[in-house]
Copies of this chain bind each other. A is one copy, B any other.
Amino acid sequence: MGDTGAARRGRRPAGQDTRAVVLDAARAEFLERGYDAASVRGIARRAGVDPGTVRHWYADKRELLTAMLGIAPLDPAAMVQGVLPGAVEGMGERLVRGVLGLWDDDSGATVRLVMPAVMADPDLRGLLPGFLGAEVLGPVVARLGVPDARRRASLVASQVAGLLMTRYLVPVEPLASMPVEEVARLVGPNVQRYLTEGLD
C-alpha cells in the first residue's frame, strides 16, 4: 500500500509523495471493494489523509481510477455529455463518434498501453465493467428510459469494446484506418439497434 509512518499518523507529507500514497490507496480500495463500492472517503482513510487532500488532486473516484490506469486526460463524462443531447435516433452514431473522439487523438497509443495492462491483470479486469457501466454506458442507456437497460448496455459494450480492439490494439483493416465519420456511419446503426430497437 505504500503507507508511510507520517501518513498513518495523519501528518501530510510533501506533494508528490502524498499523491503516490493516495494512488496506492486508491488501487487497494478499488481492488478490495470494486468500483461501485469504493469511495473517496475510504481511499483517504487508507492513505492516512483527509478527503480534502485526495480531492486536491482528484475530483472524484472516476479521476482516481483513470489516473490509476494511466488514462487521464481521457474524460468519459465529457464525452457522454456530447452524446446525450440531440435526437434519440442519432444516439448510436454519436456514441461511436464520441468513443473514437476519446481515443483517436493519440492514434490509439493510450489504448495500446492501457488495454493489455488491464487485460493481463484479473483484478483490474474486474473493475472495468463497473467503471464503464457507471461512467459511460449507464448515463447513456438511462437516458433512453427503456425497461431492459442493463441488457442493452451489455450489448453496446460488446460492440464498443470490439471496436476499440480492432481499431487500436489489433488493427483490422480497413476498419482501423477509416475516417471517424465512416466508422460512425457503419457501426452507429448497429449500436442504435442495441440501444433502442426491438431485440427479441
Contacts and interface: CB of A to CB of B under 8 A. Distances in A.
A99 to B, nearest CB: 12
Contacts of A169: 119, 125
A78 interface: no
Interface stretch (A4-12, A47-55, A65-73, A155-163): A155-163
Interface in A92-139: 115-120, 125-126, 128-129, 133
Chain A interface size, as a band, is 35 or more
A171 B127 CA distance: 10
Interface in A15-31: none
Interface stretch (A37-45, A56-64, A184-192): A184-192
Given A119-B115, A155-B175, A165-B165, A190 B186 contact: no
